[in-house]
Chains A and B, each alone.
Chain A
Amino acid sequence: MRAEAMDQLLRPKKLIVTTGLALGVLVIVMVACSLIGSEDISLRTALSNSGVAPGANPDYEILVQFRLPRIILACLVGAALACSGVVFQALLRNPLADPYILGISSGAGLGAMIAVVGGLNWTLWGRSPVAVFAFAGALGTVWLVWFIGRLTGKFHVTGLLLAGVVVNAFFSAVIMFLTSIAKSEQVYSTIFWLMGNMAEEDFLVLWVGAGCVIGGIVALFFISPQLNALSFGADDAKSMGVNIVKTRTTAFAIAAGITAIAVSLSGLIGFVGLIVPHAVRLVFGPDHRLMVPLSGIVGAIFLVIADTLARTTIAPAQLPVGVVTAIVGGPIFLVLLVKHSRKIGWLK
């Protein structure tokens, strides 16, 4: 019954129009933010001759080599975190869930820490060992939590959540332990990484990252009808004919995968994965077929703006972008919460 009601709520036309409009806003924001920065650059000078010799056309170099990659990176990370936030909130049926709730953050942090303390020094496709280990640590932790959660029972999210909390606490303790035995100077670079750091990335990294993240979001969109059913609860979903274990496993794997990619690209950026899904749900309603693409786009917009603020507020120095997402995102979210929560109940 409810699934049918859902089908009626969303017409393809509404989906296409809303998503298209949101994409348009994203493009406008990207262009606007690429023109803002600590150095004033003019678009005309930048595009007049693509600089051949280094230093011949700094405007071009700044725009194309630094700002554009960074903005694209912010888009990817924002989209990945927001979408995986949607999935975790649906799967765990918990409004407090975010991409980091099942231990991805501490797993990635531990990976990064091991890479730093181990003094590794190589690059894989332009990625440092910190990024590679963070990625591996994130995926490994999620697998561990998933495995423990499965042991507690197939249909109970509480076991999964508790496993996540405990693994998170345990790995955080290991990080603390490594911090106190490591030579102090080794610790600093991890601290910057933990605060979330948008470094300008190399083109190939962005290309591969974009492939994975966009592919993941499309895949999540494919299973969004099942996510709708799951957010009513396992029993309801089962009665609607949804294969719960398969849906959960798929959604979980994809969400964890894109989060791990986001984390390995830019460290731990908090808040995006928590507030963007809520904001989208409050404004556009709880249908996941709309929420997945829209959260991705809104997450991208949000992080691009936050990162632009991080680069410019105390220019020429920079803020960690995680600080901006929390300071800007918190109040916006509270306003939305107060305005809309009377209209719509949580996850109903």
Chain B
Amino acid sequence: MNKWVWLLLTVSCWMAAGFALCGSRQSQAGKEAIPPALPGRIVSMAPDLTEILFALGLDKEIVGVSQYSDYPPAAREKPRVGSFWQPNIESIVAAKPDLVITLTTTGFDQQKRLAMRLARMGYNNLTVKLEAIAELFEGIKQIGKATGRRHQADEVVCDIRMKLQKLSNLVGAGEKVRVLWVVQREPLRVAGRDTFVNEMIELAGGENAIGPTVHKYPPIGAEQVIASGAEVIIEPDMGQQDLSAQQESAFRYWGKFENLPAATNKRIYVIPGGEVSRLGPRLYEGIETIAKCLRPHLFES
């Protein structure tokens, strides 16, 4: 039995030593980083953030972007620092950033952990939340403030707001078009009410054909499709380069639903995903694309 006592004692001492050594260090951690007035080396951890940074004219200051930052084209030339959900903290530190911008998203704590870790090491970081259009405007202003581009940020926001106002005048307050927004066909998943896509549809003069659901992007069955009475079906492209191929298969797939107005009137649109799959400075362009699908006649001139 003696060896067991020794083992227990050794392990207890080891633990005690650990807490004595690190416990105190942990409490005093988090030496506050002093944010530079004009950050010169910025790392963006999400494609939407990259778009905002470029829109604010920070091309030269960006020293690292996340894996899928593909817009504007100049973003593709920037060094990659891992993806949004698997940030590569080594590459981030190697880029010697003086500002790291992370995105908080409900459900993913990868970015939150990254931000906490960077903060503990004394790196200056900014966390932005972009899940609704109001948050986008707020986020652009936050980033503008942190990068010394307050003026440009206000301009970007004003510009989007103005264009949206014009669009809403054009569309008018008439009958809403019922839209089914398809994110995935097999199994069928559509955009629910609690999404920014829903906001975009409403701003474009439509209304979501699917009522309130538990999921943000609920999986639905054929019955709900018929019940939705969708007048227009929109499919953002699902990664294929060739939109016409997807358009063709969409007609074939939705042709089954004979009683669905969208299918009978062949109002099924496949649109490029870039503008509508993330919230960024291209918000207006995305909404305009949707509006064109809903009321093509308004845009013919």
Known A128-B109, A215-B11; further 5 A-B contacts with Cβ < 8 A: A67-B90, A184-B215, A186-B106, A186-B107, A317-B67
Contact digits for A32-65, partner B, Cβ 8 Å, 1 yes 0 no:
0000011100000000000001110010011001
**For residues 174 through 223 of chain A, which have their beta carbon under 8 Å from a beta carbon of chain B?**
181, 183-189, 192, 199-200, 202-204, 207-208, 210-212, 215, 218-219, 222
Query: What would be 29 A-B contacts, judged by CB atoms less than 8 Å apart?
Result: A53-B122, A54-B33, A54-B121, A55-B93, A55-B123, A58-B93, A58-B94, A62-B94, A126-B26, A128-B109, A183-B216, A185-B106, A186-B107, A189-B109, A199-B113, A203-B22, A203-B25, A204-B19, A207-B14, A208-B15, A208-B18, A211-B18, A219-B4, A222-B7, A316-B80, A317-B67, A317-B80, A317-B82, A318-B88
Partner of A222, one of B3, B10, B80, B91: B3
The answer to whether B11 and A317 have CB atoms under 8 Å apart is no
Taking CB atoms, residues of chain B closer than 8 Å to A222 are 3-4, 7
Contact digits for A60-91, partner B, Cβ 8 Å, 1 yes 0 no:
01100111000000000000000000000000
Taking CB atoms, residues of chain A closer than 8 Å to B253 are none
List 9 tightest A-B contacts by C-beta distance, closest first. Answer: A185-B107, A207-B18, A54-B122, A204-B22, A215-B11, A211-B14, A316-B88, A39-B94, A55-B96
Nearest B residue (CB) for A209: B18
Taking CB atoms, residues of chain A closer than 8 Å to B86 are 317-318
At the interface, yes or no: B83 with Cβ under 8 Å from chain A?
yes
Taking CB atoms, residues of chain A closer than 8 Å to B15 are 208, 211
At the interface, yes or no: B256 with Cβ under 8 Å from chain A?
no
**B158 smallest CB distance to A (angstroms):** 31
The answer to whether A192 and B110 have CB atoms under 8 Å apart is yes
The answer to whether B216 and A185 have CB atoms under 8 Å apart is yes
At the interface, yes or no: A344 with Cβ under 8 Å from chain B?
no
At the interface, yes or no: B206 with Cβ under 8 Å from chain A?
no
The answer to whether B96 and A187 have CB atoms under 8 Å apart is no
Taking CB atoms, residues of chain B closer than 8 Å to A200 are 89, 117
- Of residues B25, B26, B67, B93, which shows the largest number of chain A Cβ atoms within 10 Å of its Cβ? B93
Taking CB atoms, residues of chain A closer than 8 Å to B121 are 54, 61, 65
The answer to whether B91 and A316 have CB atoms under 8 Å apart is yes
**B70 smallest CB distance to A (angstroms):** 15
Docked Cα-Cα span, A37 to B90, in Å, equals 8
Size range of the interface on A? Answer: 35 or more
At the interface, yes or no: A245 with Cβ under 8 Å from chain B?
no
Docked Cα-Cα span, A316 to B117, in Å, equals 18
Contact digits for B102-146, partner A, Cβ 8 Å, 1 yes 0 no:
000111111001000100011100000000000000000000000
**B64 smallest CB distance to A (angstroms):** 9
The answer to whether A316 and B67 have CB atoms under 8 Å apart is yes
Docked Cα-Cα span, A63 to B67, in Å, equals 23
Contact digits for A148-191, partner B, Cβ 8 Å, 1 yes 0 no:
00000000000000000000000000000000010111111100
Partner of B215, one of A39, A67, A183, A315: A183
Interface residues of B (CB under 8 A from A): 3-4, 7, 10-11, 14-15, 18-19, 21-23, 25-26, 33, 67, 80-83, 85-86, 88-91, 93-94, 96-98, 105-110, 113, 117, 121-123, 214-217
The answer to whether A187 and B107 have CB atoms under 8 Å apart is yes
Docked Cα-Cα span, A106 to B105, in Å, equals 26
Taking CB atoms, residues of chain B closer than 8 Å to A67 are 90
Partner of B107, one of A38, A39, A183: A183
Taking CB atoms, residues of chain B closer than 8 Å to A187 are 107
Docked Cα-Cα span, A203 to B121, in Å, equals 13
Q: Is the interface of A mostly helix, strand, loop or mixed?
A: helix
**A111 smallest CB distance to B (angstroms):** 16
The answer to whether B85 and A215 have CB atoms under 8 Å apart is no
Docked Cα-Cα span, A218 to B11, in Å, equals 10
Nearest A residue (CB) for B12: A211
The answer to whether A66 and B93 have CB atoms under 8 Å apart is yes
Taking CB atoms, residues of chain B closer than 8 Å to A61 are 93, 121
Contact digits for A93-128, partner B, Cβ 8 Å, 1 yes 0 no:
000000000000000000000000000000000101
**B159 smallest CB distance to A (angstroms):** 30
Partner of B85, one of A58, A126, A183, A192: A192
Partner of A316, one of B21, B81, B113: B81
Docked Cα-Cα span, A316 to B98, in Å, equals 20
Partner of B88, one of A55, A58, A317: A317
Nearest B residue (CB) for A250: B4
Nearest B residue (CB) for A186: B107
Taking CB atoms, residues of chain B closer than 8 Å to A54 are 33, 121-123
Nearest A residue (CB) for B189: A184
Taking CB atoms, residues of chain A closer than 8 Å to B21 are 207
Taking CB atoms, residues of chain B closer than 8 Å to A66 are 89-90, 93
The answer to whether A185 and B94 have CB atoms under 8 Å apart is no
